[in-house]
Amino acid sequence: MANKKGFTLWLTGLSGAGKTTLARILASELNGRGVSVEVLDGDEVRTNLSRGLGFSKEDRDINIRRIGFVCRLLSRNGVGAVSAAISPYRAVRDEIRHAIEQDGAEFIEVFVKCPIEVLVARDVKGLYKLALAGEISEFTGVSDPYEEPLTPAVVVETDREPVESSVGKIIHVLEQRGLIPEVVITNRQVIPLSVFEDLRTPNVEFARR
């Protein structure tokens, strides 16, 4: 099934909050519903598209604008773009939102929320330990600011809820906005809601024969 309308899911939050995990699971779920989707992971973009950029505010803004530009291209061509990058500055996120919506696509901001103390305890990549020891400068949430979204479309709290619940919240918003097909689970099969309703509705032409 082709997308009726492209969109950008913008997952923003501190390092280690769970953005990449959510993005991968969301992509799998959306693909399963026949939705064309691409994931732009912050680490992968820095390796391939933003190689050579540092972590000054200027370089961070350039990096996020590049991600936003790719999301804009994808969204306006009917693809679901999923961005999983810290994107710490509110003004740049709002700038990208405006550009995407100007093209007639939808921008859904998702705040992947997790307290800094939980992230320090997790320290999945071992970066918080280095940042707190002063071995990494300009580290978001420790020595560099993170500006939380003021009115995100979705807030997921990865320290309090299972990943399935977080994914479900995001999927629900996409369904409500008519951006992806709804599904019905019956006999352990996932069927698009439109197809399910067709199966339940008598075929008048067939009945006449």
- Catalytic site residue 194? no
Residue 111 domain flag: yes
The tokens 């370089």 sit on which residue?
59
Residue 203 domain flag: no
Residue 209 domain flag: no
Checking if the pLDDT of 192 tops 90, the result is no
Range of the domain at 100: 7-181
Residue 133 domain flag: yes
Percentage with pLDDT > 90 across the chain:
82
Q: Which of 87, 143, 165, 166 is catalytic?
A: 87
Checking if the pLDDT of 195 tops 50, the result is no
Residue 22 domain flag: yes
- Reported as a single tens digit per residue, the pLDDT across 19-46 is 999 999 999 999 999 999 999 999 999 9
Residue 99 domain flag: yes
Checking if the pLDDT of 48 tops 70, the result is yes
pLDDT of residue 202: 39
Neighbours of 141 (CB within 10 A): 20
pLDDT of residue 33: 94
pLDDT of residue 184: 53
- Reported as a single tens digit per residue, the pLDDT across 83-107 is 999 999 999 999 999 999 999 999 9
Distance CA 24, CA 38 (A): 10
pLDDT of residue 67: 98
pLDDT of residue 125: 85
On average, the pLDDT of the chain sits at 88
DSSP the chain: ---SS-EEEEEE--TTSSHHHHHHHHHHHHHHTT--EEEEEHHHHHHHTSTT--SSHHHHHHHHHHHHHHHHHHHHTT-EEEEE-----HHHHHHHHHHHHHTT-EEEEEEEE--HHHHHHH-TTSHHHHHHTTSS-S-BTTTB-----SS-SEEEETTTS-HHHHHHHHHHHHHHTTSS--EEEETTEEEEHHHHHHHHS--HHHHH-
**How many separate domains does the chain show?**
1
Q: Where residue 120 sits, what CATH number does that domain have?
A: 3.40.50.300
- Reported as a single tens digit per residue, the pLDDT across 140-157 is 999 999 999 999 999 999
Distance CA 93, CA 69 (A): 12
Residue 194 domain flag: no
Checking if the pLDDT of 2 tops 50, the result is no
Distance CA 155, CA 173 (A): 11
pLDDT of residue 186: 42
Checking if the pLDDT of 127 tops 50, the result is yes
Contact, 110 vs 170, CB < 8 A?
Answer: yes
Residue 189 domain flag: no
Confidence band of 124 (pLDDT split at 50, 70, 90): confident
Predicted TM-score of the model (pTM): 0.85
Q: 54 is written with which tokens?
A: 């540092």
Checking if the pLDDT of 206 tops 50, the result is no
Phi, psi of 139 (to 5 degrees): -100, 120
Checking if the pLDDT of 183 tops 80, the result is no
The tokens 């953005």 sit on which residue?
19
